[in-house]
Amino acid sequence: MQTLEFEVGPCANPDRSIGSGLIGVVGSGNLEVLFEPAELNDKVKFVIETSVHGFDETWQAVTRSCAERYRLANLVITINDAGATPAVVNLRLMQAVAEFRSEQ
């Protein structure tokens, strides 16, 4: 297993409606995503546990894109990966944002 950590931000106009939760299942070609609030000065931290080595730049691009697209801030997002493709990663992150966004 490899652990990757990336920090993105700070976000200039963060979406403060996104809370905590867990979504997904670790399994072949899939992943789970955990959102946890943390005081990070409007940054977001991604911690990725993956069995697939050599994709650091891809993970960095996918996480940066997600953080910027959804204006994420003050979250630690842990991803437990089991060989998911970037498309599946994007889908699961999109599902998590939708699931953990509270109505303001």
Taking the chain (104 residues) in consecutive chunks of 10 residues, what is each chunk's mean pLDDT?
Answer: 95 94 84 96 96 92 96 97 89 94 72
Residue 64, Cα to own-chain centre: how many angstroms? 9
DSSP letter string, 74-89 = SEEEEEEESS--HHHH
For the stretch 76-94, pLDDT in tens is 999 999 888 888 999 999 9
Share of the chain above pLDDT 70, in %: 97
What does DSSP assign to residue 16?
A: T
